[in-house]
């Protein structure tokens, strides 16, 4: 079998003296849609930041595509939390999507026809072509999330990492995003999503990582997303109403 797409070993990361992640190890296979699930403050975003290289771990290793993380990252595409940027920034939706082409164009390289095509396709894929020239400040939360996803699509890559893409978006956007993520998975790409809503985990993800500062479980959703494991992750603070026979949890 080929190398796992993401392989995290004994990862430790703390802010000042407060540990955010301790001794986290797991690996993820290719062509899967993976949910990172856990309560607030469980270190989900921290884990993602370590994987994408914006936070340095205290110890432990991260390998991507069987290579050291800094080498494997050329195939990684990151969609940060929406709250991480200033939406009053003077930029249009289309220009944000163009940022996805900066890396391949280099410092002063001219954009080519295929760049223009990639940007147009990405806008189309998330149905915001008509908003291309809009200021980002004038967009709704759902539209902003679509812009971020379009930038990632324009960039391309084999591993997509999304931090809370469903937080505060409308239902139409949520299902549009899920469709895009599924089609990426079907093209053989790996998609890693920080997720908050336990009720949709079973429906959206093939694979889950249950996290609460340490790893509780990692595996195919049917095996890992069980009542016991979820209770353990949330410290017994969730009410699980039914285990409806076919292994799906109703939370």
Partner 1 sequence: MSTSTAIHIERAQEFFLFQYDFVLYALGASVLVGIVCGLVGTFLVLRGFSLLGDATGHATLPGVAGAFLLTGFQHPAALLTGALVSGGLGALTVGAFSRGSRVRSDAAIGIVLSVFFGIGIVMLAYIQDSPTGRHAGLEQFLFGNAEAITAGQLGVLALIGLALCVAVAVFYRPLALMTFDEGYAKSLGIDTAKLEIGLLFALSVAVVISIQAVGVILVAAMLIIPPSAGRFLSGRLGGVVAWAMVIGAVSGAIGAFISYVFAGVATGPAMVLAATFFFGLALLFGPHQGVLTAWVRSRRRR
For the CB of residue 50, give the shortest distance to partner 1 in the complex, in Å.
Answer: 11
The helix/strand/coil state of 243 is: strand
Residues near partner 1, by CB under 8 A? 15-16, 49, 52-54, 70, 73-74, 76-78, 80, 84-86, 89-92, 95-96, 99, 102-103, 105, 107-108, 135, 151, 161
For the CB of residue 228, give the shortest distance to partner 1 in the complex, in Å.
Answer: 34
Of the two residues 15 and 250, which places its CB atom closer to partner 1 in the complex? Answer: 15
Positive/negative CA dihedral, 44, 182, 199, 5: negative
Distance CA 110, CA 131 (A): 24
Of the two residues 80 and 202, which places its CB atom closer to partner 1 in the complex? Answer: 80
For the CB of residue 141, give the shortest distance to partner 1 in the complex, in Å.
Answer: 16
For the CB of residue 107, give the shortest distance to partner 1 in the complex, in Å.
Answer: 6
Contacts for 180 with CB less than 8 Å, ≥ 6 apart: 125, 126, 149, 153
Token code pair at residue 91: 């930029």
CA neighbor of 145 nearest in space, from 171, 120, 121, 119: 171
Of the two residues 92 and 127, which places its CB atom closer to partner 1 in the complex? Answer: 92
For the CB of residue 4, give the shortest distance to partner 1 in the complex, in Å.
Answer: 20
**Which of 64-97 are b and which e, b meaning 16 or more Cβ less than 10 Å from the residue's Cβ?**
bbeeebeebbebbbbbbbbeeeeeeeebbbbbbb
Could you tell me if 236 and 223 are in contact, meaning their C-beta atoms sit under 8 angstroms apart?
Answer: no
Of the two residues 59 and 99, which places its CB atom closer to partner 1 in the complex? Answer: 99
Three-class SS of 28-66: ECCCCEEEEECCCCCCHHHHHHHHHCCCCCCEEEEEECC
The helix/strand/coil state of 206 is: coil
Of the two residues 103 and 175, which places its CB atom closer to partner 1 in the complex? Answer: 103
For the CB of residue 61, give the shortest distance to partner 1 in the complex, in Å.
Answer: 18
Distance CA 249, CA 230 (A): 10
Of the two residues 56 and 237, which places its CB atom closer to partner 1 in the complex? Answer: 56
Of the two residues 136 and 169, which places its CB atom closer to partner 1 in the complex? Answer: 136
Distance CA 137, CA 221 (A): 37
For the CB of residue 44, give the shortest distance to partner 1 in the complex, in Å.
Answer: 14
């Amino acid at each position: 079998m080929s190398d796992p797409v993401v392989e995290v070993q004994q990862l430790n990361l703390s802010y000042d003296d407060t540990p955010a992640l301790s001794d986290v190890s797991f690996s993820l296979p290719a062509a899967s849609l993976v949910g990172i699930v856990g309560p607030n403050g469980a270190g989900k975003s921290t884990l993602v930041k370590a994987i994408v290289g914006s936070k340095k771990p205290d110890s432990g290793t991260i390998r991507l595509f069987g290579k050291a993380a800094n080498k494997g990252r050329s195939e990684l595409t990151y969609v940060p939390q929406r709250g991480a940027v200033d939406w009053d920034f003077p930029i249009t939706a289309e220009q944000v999507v163009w940022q996805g082409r900066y890396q391949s164009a280099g410092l002063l390289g001219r954009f080519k026809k295929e760049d223009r095509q990639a940007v147009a396709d990405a806008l189309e894929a998330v149905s915001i072509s008509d908003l291309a020239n809009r200021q980002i400040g004038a967009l709704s939360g759902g539209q902003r999330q679509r812009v971020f996803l379009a930038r990632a699509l324009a960039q391309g890559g084999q591993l997509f990492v999304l931090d809370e893409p469903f937080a505060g978006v409308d239902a139409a956007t949520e299902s549009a995003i899920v469709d895009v993520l599924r089609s990426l998975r079907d093209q053989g790409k790996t998609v890693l999503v920080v997720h908050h809503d336990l009720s949709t985990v079973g429906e959206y993800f093939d694979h889950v990582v249950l996290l609460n500062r340490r790893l509780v479980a990692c595996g195919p959703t049917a095996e890992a997303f069980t009542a016991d494991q979820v209770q353990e992750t949330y410290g017994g603070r969730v009410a699980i109403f039914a285990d409806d026979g076919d292994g799906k949890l109703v939370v």
